[in-house]
Structure 1
Amino acid sequence: MNNNKIRRSGLFIAMVAAMGVSAAANAAVELYNEDGTSFSVDGYFNAFYVNRDNNVNNTRDSRVKMGFLPNTIGFNFSKEMGDLTLGGRSSFWTSINDSLDDGLATDTAIDVRQFYATVDGDFGQVLLGKDFGLYARSNIFLDEILMGFGSPGTAGGVSFGNIRAGYPYPLPSAQITYRAPEMFGFKLAVGILDPADTVTGTNDENAAPRFESEVTYATSVSNIALTGWVNGRYQSAENGSTTVDSTGVGYGLKVSLAELTLAASGFTSKGDNPVLISNSAVTEDDADGFLVQAAYAFGANRLVLSYGETDAEILDFETESTTFGFFHDVNSNFKLVAEYNMFEQKNRTTGVTSTDADTIALGAIVMF
């Protein structure tokens, strides 16, 4: 398998970051590798027993749901063509809950979040197609509870992890992205992405695409592993005399020494939805948030403490989320998870609490 290709897939990066394992251990199942051509498959399956106490309505609910990452199957190919390596990935993400929540007894929605081709060479890599965005990318992929449950989400979908309580979601989008070769620990990615329609009316205009970028840096000094990143987004939309300029900056730092990992990240934005970018009218009001985490590994176990906040003038809410997580590796392909999350969301203008939930989540994850 061409590891240069596979290591750049969003799900694969997420797995490696969350589990702290090598790429070779959990990349995929290789089905074919001859004459410079390879094809592989990877999969991720999970289910959680969820018991939630809703303190606003004074009700308790028990469910069997997915975790923060949906159930996924992905297909990867790579072919060497002279000085170039052509690759591609298609991944399909599915909910295990939408049949009952949508009122259709056997219906299941399939969400295609990655469907792209890549061209690799001495110049770096060009990605063509649909993939996760660059803004807030490392914020979410390096989240210590990525493979857990986190804060409440939609009724028929995944939980929200720390989305809208520490970082926005790097929504998968149509894009053309360039990644430069690694240099002294630095990696640079810049891309043009399909813009969101942030104004309304019959004369909406997006004269330029959405621009996103990310710079990451990784090094190791005296047994201390250090990872840092900065990412950003910019786009402008017009409708007559109305112009909405959307900007966002994300950043973070993760430090690991032996079994202890400390991480802090944050974002600040203007005219940009702090949950996920979408086709909806917005103002140029502000939003910002942060996430701080500590993780300690011992043997096959990992303990995580996570706390995040988002203050969104643009959507008029304030949130905070606290998570205690325990992860146990039965083996490299099977993981058990226990989590306790406390999440609160208020209207920042009135102070009225719209969500106050305490959630216990017990889950199992199988991957290949």
Structure 2
Amino acid sequence: MKAYRTRLKAAVALACLLGAAGPALADTTDDLLLALKNKGILSDAEYQQLLARKQAEPAPAPVAAASPQAESAQQSAAGALDMSHYVKMADKGVGLQIGDVNLTFSGSVNGFYTHDSGASATANHTVAGGLASVGPKSSAVRNGLLPGFLKIEVTTQQAGWDVGAHFGFYPGINSVTAVGGANSAGNPVALGTSGIDFRQTYLTFGRTNIGEFKIGRDIGLFGSDAILNDITLLSVGSTGGNAAPSNTSLGRIGIGYIYTDFQPQITYTSPKFAGFQASLGVFQPLVTIGRSEVNKNPGFQGKLTYDWKGDSFGVHAWAGGITQKHNSTDLLPGYTGSAFDVGAKLTYGGASLLGYFYDGKGVGTTGLFILSTDALGNRRKSNGYYIQGTYTIGKFTLGGSYGASFLKMTGAEKADRDAGAPAGLYDPTLLDRNSSWVGQGRYGLTPWVTLIGEYINTKSKAQGGNHATSDTVAAGAILFF
């Protein structure tokens, strides 16, 4: 009611100012003040105070009647001024302000011509979990690691809290089968349709001195900085299949880091203290790929970041972790998968250098809990890293990176291999290593549009010696608003 009365007082004050334009408007103002008092919105003291203030104002000098053309111009100017109060261009995206509520739109669109030369489809090129392309040469017009996206955010302040609702739509440009989700296998046939991946649906509330709480579906904590600082996020990287492209490529997923994924969560992020900020979350437990599970306990993820920036030198560093207990229902033992990661990005002028490393047991490779155990339920170890450098001169940026992800056999698999594989645990085609080199050039055509050219060499190697190599060239553009 206090806020409501304050707004009405402002309206009354405006009416008093308008009343100075002439006797007719002055009488209208008197009537308005009286009506507000009779309705109990203004007290007797407030009514007398405002009425005395209006009556004490000097009478305005007569104003010549304006021509119809002048009145039209004044109305147009007033309308434009009023509109500028509500509609604005945000720092990123387009913003619309309605009273105390901010509605912002941001998004991205990209497309690339990609030519891929994969290894021939022979037995010695078979790698289970390998990410190098196998098969004939192919060309595609496709999305890169990012599909397109449109993010809508509604934020305001209520009762001293900053609150917000966030929605993220991620549509691709390529047709997909739609079997298994929006980012299912590609389906390049006539009359096909692309998928829309609704990755983000979450609410936030917080205060500057308390921090922020997030509830809903959003990007995870473990591995998030690895992908968000990867140069292939803006481009293609390893294709993950180019003859029938899906809505996304792989970039460096599975070739230097495990994909963080977008996951249901309840997460708390602290305020920043001397450059440090901590996040901790409770996550929907993920099922191990290929196993039957009903998990009793949630997953947990955490991350600590540090940021510092001087006149020309900057530091962004992070350390994170993940742990989740898996309860099996397929006669295999349960297990706990856990991992940690560390990384740092240093910037100096137009140059940057990044290093990243992760190590885990029972978390798998490429995606969380993929190939994380052997056939007996024993945990496999995995780790990986990537290094990256960029240099920007004006609108041009040159970048390069190398990374690899490794999967280790369990003790049972090694024993079975050494015994000649009588138990059938040892699979010689099981992935040992995925690695890639990336060379990239970017040109900032406009503040929104970036042109990108890229070369990628991807290699996969199996535990038994099988290997595959593919070479990819990509060129296209990405737009952010």
TM-score range, shorter chain: 0.7 to 0.9
Q: Give the structure 2 partner of residue 64 of structure 1.
A: 141
Q: Give the structure 1 partner of residue 259 of structure 2.
A: 169
Q: 1:289 to 1:337 in 2, by over 3 A?
A: same
Give me the TM-score of the superposition, normalised by structure 1: 0.87
Q: Is residue 145–residue 304 contact of structure 1 (8 Å, CA) maintained in 2?
A: no
Q: Give the structure 1 partner of residue 112 of structure 2.
A: 48
User: Out of 198, 201, 213, which is 2:302 matched to?
Assistant: 213
Match of 2:235, SS state, is coil
| In structure 1, C-alpha distance between the alignment counterparts of 2:269 and 2:118, rounded to whole Å | 44
Q: Give the structure 2 partner of residue 157 of structure 1.
A: 247
Q: Give the structure 2 partner of residue 185 of structure 1.
A: 275
State which structure, 1 or 2, has the greater radius of gyration over its C-alpha atoms: 2
Match of 2:149, SS state, is strand
| In structure 1, C-alpha distance between the alignment counterparts of 2:171 and 2:408, rounded to whole Å | 33
Residue 361 in structure 1 maps to residue 425 in structure 2: no
Q: Sequence identity, in percent?
A: 24
Q: 1:268 to 1:327 in 2, by over 3 A?
A: same
Query: Over residues 85-115 of structure 1, what are the superposed CA-to-partner deviations in whole Å (9 max), with x where a residue is unaligned?
Result: 1102111112211248335723221111111
Q: Give the structure 2 partner of residue 325 of structure 1.
A: 440
| In structure 2, C-alpha distance between the alignment counterparts of 1:308 and 1:279, rounded to whole Å | 19
Q: 1:181 to 1:247 in 2, by over 3 A?
A: same
Q: Is residue 197–residue 280 contact of structure 1 (8 Å, CA) maintained in 2?
A: no
Following superposition, the deviation at residue 241 of structure 1 comes to 6.8
Q: Which moved more, 1:141-150 or 1:225-234?
A: 141-150
| In structure 1, C-alpha distance between the alignment counterparts of 2:99 and 2:176, rounded to whole Å | 44
Residue 85 in structure 1 maps to residue 162 in structure 2: yes
Q: Is residue 362–residue 369 contact of structure 2 (8 Å, CA) maintained in 1?
A: no
User: Out of 14, 27, 44, which is 2:92 matched to?
Assistant: 27
Q: Is residue 188–residue 216 contact of structure 1 (8 Å, CA) maintained in 2?
A: yes
| In structure 2, C-alpha distance between the alignment counterparts of 1:79 and 1:222, rounded to whole Å | 33
Q: Give the structure 1 partner of residue 233 of structure 2.
A: 146
- Higher share of residues assigned helix: 2
Q: Give the structure 1 partner of residue 458 of structure 2.
A: 343
Give me the TM-score of the superposition, normalised by structure 2: 0.67
User: Out of 195, 212, 222, which is 2:285 matched to?
Assistant: 195
| In structure 2, C-alpha distance between the alignment counterparts of 1:279 and 1:55, rounded to whole Å | 24
- Structure 2 unmatched ranges of 5 or more: 1-88, 122-134, 178-185, 410-429
Query: Over residues 90-145 of structure 1, what are the superposed CA-to-partner deviations in whole Å (9 max), with x where a residue is unaligned?
Result: 11112211248335723221111111000121310000100011000111111133
Q: Give the structure 1 partner of residue 323 of structure 2.
A: 234
Query: Over residues 232-266 of structure 1, what are the superposed CA-to-partner deviations in whole Å (9 max), with x where a residue is unaligned?
Result: 10010123671211001111011111111111001
| In structure 1, C-alpha distance between the alignment counterparts of 2:392 and 2:137, rounded to whole Å | 32
| In structure 2, C-alpha distance between the alignment counterparts of 1:241 and 1:152, rounded to whole Å | 34
Aligned pairs, how many? 341
Match of 2:226, SS state, is helix
Q: Which moved more, 1:272-281 or 1:168-177?
A: 272-281
Residue 75 in structure 1 maps to residue 152 in structure 2: yes
Q: 1:44 to 1:194 in 2, by over 3 A?
A: same
Match of 1:93, SS state, is strand
User: Out of 345, 350, 368, which is 1:277 matched to?
Assistant: 368
| In structure 2, C-alpha distance between the alignment counterparts of 1:78 and 1:331, rounded to whole Å | 29
Q: Give the structure 2 partner of residue 260 of structure 1.
A: 351
Match of 1:67, SS state, is coil
Q: 1:281 to 1:264 in 2, by over 3 A?
A: closer
Q: Is residue 144–residue 236 contact of structure 2 (8 Å, CA) maintained in 1?
A: yes
Q: Is residue 230–residue 251 contact of structure 1 (8 Å, CA) maintained in 2?
A: yes
| In structure 2, C-alpha distance between the alignment counterparts of 1:280 and 1:115, rounded to whole Å | 29
Q: Is residue 197–residue 279 contact of structure 1 (8 Å, CA) maintained in 2?
A: no
How large is the RMSD of aligned CA atoms in angstroms? 2.1
Matching residue's letter, 1:218: D
Query: Over residues 296-331 of structure 1, what are the superposed CA-to-partner deviations in whole Å (9 max), with x where a residue is unaligned?
Result: 000001000110001112663311110000011011
Q: Which moved more, 1:47-56 or 1:91-100?
A: 91-100
Matching residue's letter, 1:261: S
User: Out of 184, 204, 222, which is 1:118 matched to?
Assistant: 204
- Higher share of residues assigned strand: 1
Q: Give the structure 2 partner of residue 18 of structure 1.
A: none
Matching residue's letter, 1:135: F
Q: Give the structure 2 partner of residue 334 of structure 1.
A: 449
| In structure 1, C-alpha distance between the alignment counterparts of 2:290 and 2:440, rounded to whole Å | 42
Match of 1:115, SS state, is strand
Match of 2:225, SS state, is helix
- Structure 1 unmatched ranges of 5 or more: 1-23
Match of 1:92, SS state, is strand
Q: Which has the higher contact order (CA 8 A, sep 6+)?
A: 1
